[in-house]
Amino acid sequence: MPQIISMKVEYLILLSFLLTFAVITNAFYVKKQFYPSVVYLTKSSTSLAVLYAQAFVFAILFGKFIQRIFLGPLRAIETEHLYDRAWFSITETCLAFTVFRDDFSPRFVALFAVLLFLKCFHWLLEDRVDYMEQSPVLGPIFHTRVIGLLSVLSILDYLFISSAYMHTIAKGASVQIVFGFEYAILLVSVITTAIKYILHSIEIRAGEQWENKGVFMLYSDLILGLFRLTLYMIFIMVMMKIHTFPLFAIRPMFIAMRAFRKSCNDVLESRRAIRNLNTMYPDLTAEELGNATDTTCIICREEMQVQQSIKRLTCQHIFHKNCLRSWFQRQQTCPICRTTVLRPVPTRAAAAAAAAPLVNAQPAAASQPQAQIPVSTARFPPSPSHLASNSATSSTSSSTPTNTSTQASPPNFNAMGAGVFPQMAFNSFPMVLPPFAFPPPPLPPANFAGMSEETIRAMEGTELSHVQARIQCLRNVRTLLDASMIQMQQYMNIVLTQSNMENGTGLLNNLKNDTDQVLTSSDENNSRNNVLNPINENDADVIRRRRLEHYRQRLSPSTTNQENNNDS
Amino acid sequence: MAGSALRRLIAEYKQLTNNPPDGILAGPISDENFFEWEALITGPNGTPFEFGVFATRLHFPSDYPLSPPKMKFVSEIFHPNVYPDGRVCISILHAPGDDPMGYETSAERWSPVQSIEKILLSVVSLLAEPNEASPANVDAAKMFRENREKFDETAKRCVRKTLGL
């Protein structure tokens, strides 16, 4: 597509030349002499139109020539910017013509054309200097061109300003005021570009990141933006006094205003970010940097050096101070973990102090539920004797109802264990095994010899509660086993993540064997309970049956143990 | 600031050429401008985009690691998360702060931790698993949901087109 367009442009240029040639030859052919033919040309509107078109073509060709000298081939983005801005500028120039319709003359149009022409080069130069930041290779030709264009443009701007000033002084307010202001604004933009160019060149010469460049850029933007804005303001006020409201200056002024507001905002944000960085986070020392595992700044992907100022955030991530500053101008979070950092949080010393209790808080959290729920002491005893005594009481003291049983189920423990996970898994784990050495339940003599009817009956009465207590005890054991299995799984997870595969599985196997043993021993207990059954059956009578049924109903979650008990 | 953008792009380019990820080829279009990249992405295996080689363009802003690049498919591609004009709709390319659709958490969006490699890998995984929640190409999303076979066929046609078949 661009090729077709450029072809068309060439054809148009050729056509324009041919037309001009035709018009001029025609004039000479008709009038024969130089002076009358010139008069003829200026009187005939057709020839004038052709000649204006030719002048336009000459201007474009001259522009192309200058561009060849000072800029070389344009990049796509530069051409795009140029067309966009030229379009706006042309509309604004047309608007300006409406304001100055009284002064409308070829000279006036020519002056505006020159202004537009120079504006184009200002824009191109701006783009070119911005390009410095993007290209890794810049030859001496580039610098010569930029410096040449910069000086030519600034000299031209200055000349136009002074001529406009002289004109205004000599002949009073006229259109020249507009040109004066326009060129003044252009001069400001040239200065901005020059400052940028100098800053970029210094950075390139320095060869590495120049820390203060960003700050310089911000402030120069701010000051020159202010200049530009005041110029526009004065211009509009002056125009209001002399002519009418300059409609054509509204858009550029609005843009200047917005740019100024933005640079104000940038400066404020940057200052805030720097202040926060300086007050909240001290610079990293060489020693601390040496201890850090990863010394690449994730923002610029460069190694952090000791001489650069480096900051560590509360989340322990470290960055270059300058990289952080420019990021914090956009967002107040850590780039890695996105924790909000620019709140008034305590300094690092306080943060460390806060972190220490946090570590201690875990055992505290572990002990707290134990203190609150007495069940959990039985589940995960701090000492084996504790559980032994507990089970002993539950098995021997017959009449006390053991209500410590079913409240804390394995999932409940699981939730608790997840919160206080490491301590629970490692501390209580080896202590799970010994408590299962139960004191044997008191058994009556095998053949009830030497026992009276009453004692047997009394024994039978107490026996039932004994059996119940034992069932209860066995249930507790079961819950404990479930809990310990969960603990074991958690332990295994830890072991696996620590990639101690062999040790871990070996340990797990051991544990499995241990639990199997415990399970079988509990089965033995069950069978012992079953041994008691015949005694009950021997003296079966209606009341006892009813009583049994009554108990059965009370212990509604009927287990196999009970079934065995009540089987007749 | 922007000088650091250039240095970071050069660093990433070095990294990408030294350890190129599977099925991804990326680099600046010209040596003079490191802010325009071209990347070739091969369609992931086992998807309708398999064997396809898709050309994409990446445009980096002058404040690059702070703002995300823009990515555009140059080759024609029929995918629920690629706009018909080639722009890619993927959360890590969205600047933090502005949330056009209002459903992404800021954790999913751009941060300087991301890199060109990560972007391209995310796009590859997006090819494998389109995100139905944020369709950019409504036709493709509808077809993907309702008529998977036809979608696969259309996608394969695009693949053939990229290969010049």
DSSP track, B8-20: HHHHHHHHHHHSP
- Residue B133 carries which side chain, given as an amino acid letter? A
pLDDT at A427: 42
d(CA A226, nearest CA chain B) in Å: 22
pLDDT at A552 over 50: yes
> What CA dihedral angle connects A105, A111, A117 and A121, to 10 degrees?
-160
Of A213, A214, A299, the CB nearest to B112: A299
The DSSP annotation for A481-506 comes to HHHHHHHHHHHHHHHHHTT-HHHHHH
| Cβ(B40)–Cβ(B124) below 8 Å | no
Instruction: Please enumerate residues of A whose Cβ is less than 8 A from a Cβ of B.
Output: 75, 130-131, 133-137, 200, 203-204, 209-210, 213-214, 217, 298-302, 323, 326-327, 330-331, 333, 335-336, 338
Residues of B in contact with A133 (CB under 8 A): 2-3, 5-6, 62
CATH architecture for segment(s) A281-345: 2-Layer Sandwich (3.30)
Say what the ipTM of the complex is.
Answer: 0.79
Q: Which residue has the tokens 């310990």?
A: A484
Higher pLDDT pick, A495 / B145: B145
Angstrom distance (rounded) from CA A2 to CA B123: 32
Angstrom distance (rounded) from CA A173 to CA A182: 15
Q: Return the SS3 of A49.
A: helix
Residues A352-392 have pLDDT tens digits of: 444 444 444 444 333 444 433 344 333 444 444 444 444 44
Tokens of B19: 């350890």
| Cβ(B87)–Cβ(B72) below 8 Å | yes
DSSP state at residue A333: B
Residues of A in contact with B67 (CB under 8 A): 330
Residues A7-54 have pLDDT tens digits of: 688 888 899 899 999 988 988 888 888 888 888 888 888 888 888 889
pLDDT at B96: 67
Determine the average pLDDT of the residues in A316-332. 79
Q: How confident is the model at residue A163 (pLDDT cuts 50, 70, 90)?
A: very high
Nearest to A495 by CA among A485, A503, A483: A503
Which residues make Cβ contacts (< 8 Å) with residue A550, sequence separation at least 6?
none
Q: Would you tell me how many other CB atoms lie within 10 Å of the CB of residue B69? A: 20
**Active-site residue numbers of B?**
89
Of B6, B12, B112, the CB nearest to A335: B112
Q: What is the pTM of this model?
A: 0.58
Give the A:B interface size as CB pairs under 8 Å: 80
Which residues make Cβ contacts (< 8 Å) with residue B10, sequence separation at least 6?
A136, B34
Q: How confident is the model at residue A418 (pLDDT cuts 50, 70, 90)?
A: very low
Q: Where are the domains of chain A?
A: 71-240, 281-345, 360-566
Determine the average pLDDT of the residues in A223-237. 90
| Cβ(B44)–Cβ(B63) below 8 Å | no
Determine the average pLDDT of the residues in A189-211. 82
Tokens of B160: 């053939």
CATH of segment(s) B2-162: 3.10.110.10
